């Protein structure tokens, strides 16, 4: 189903695929990311959807809107930036709901330029949709918004639950 073959350990569970997704984009200045590993986590046709100002055609007056990206569009958007500036993103809380072969994960994250930076430069929440095909998990979409003064992360997304 994917151009890149996944490491079975990366896709064996919800925890494994979420951990792999954060791991693959994280690294110090100058380290090339394994973009084929990233591709292997996503089902064909998957989307990465950041919310941003001045994004997409539905945006009016500089308000926040979703930007729909495929995997290669996402890599083009962040690839050079994360390698030149260093980027470490880690999950700090998770809420998971599952029904049959589908799962939805609210994953709260912190972003740093160096792994040992005392404070994150950004936090936010990923809404991650997953599918289990009876042999492995696939990421269907990741849709996210950064925390801002207008939109602080609610306490319920700072507590780890099922």
Compute the distance between CA of residue 100 and CA of residue 30 in angstroms, rounded to an integer. Answer: 41
What is the rounded CA–CA span in Å between residue 162 and residue 159?
Answer: 10
Tokens 């500036």 sit at which residue? Answer: 85
Q: Percent of the chain, pLDDT > 70?
A: 91
Question: For residue range 142-155, what is the model confidence (pLDDT) as tens digits?
Answer: 999 999 998 999 99
Q: Whole-angstrom distance between the N-terminal and C-terminal Cα of the chain?
A: 29
What domains can be seen in the chain, in order of their start residue?
8-157 (3.10.450.50)
CB contact burial 113-133 (16+ within 10 A = b; e otherwise): eeeeeeebeebbbbebbbebe
Query: What pTM was computed for the model?
Result: 0.91
pLDDT at 161 over 70: no
**22-67 pLDDT, tens per residue?**
999 999 999 999 999 999 999 999 999 999 876 555 555 668 889 9
Question: What pLDDT is attached to residue 123?
Answer: 98
């Amino acid at each position: 189903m994917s151009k890149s073959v996944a490491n079975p350990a990366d896709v064996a569970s919800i925890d494994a695929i979420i951990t792999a997704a954060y791991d693959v984009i994280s690294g110090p200045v100058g380290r090339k990311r394994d973009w084929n590993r990233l591709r292997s986590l996503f089902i064909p046709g998957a989307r990465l959807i950041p919310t941003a100002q001045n994004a997409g055609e539905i945006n009016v007056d500089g308000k926040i809107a979703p930007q729909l990206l495929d995997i290669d569009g996402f890599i083009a958007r962040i690839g050079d930036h994360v390698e030149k500036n260093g980027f470490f993103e880690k999950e700090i809380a998770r809420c998971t709901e599952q029904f049959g072969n589908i799962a939805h994960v609210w994953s709260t994250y912190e972003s740093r330029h160096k792994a040992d930076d005392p404070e994150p430069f950004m936090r936010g929440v990923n809404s991650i949709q997953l599918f289990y095909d009876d042999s492995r998990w696939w990421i269907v979409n990741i849709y996210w918004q950064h925390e801002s003064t207008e939109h602080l992360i609610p306490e319920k997304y700072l507590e780890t639950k099922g």
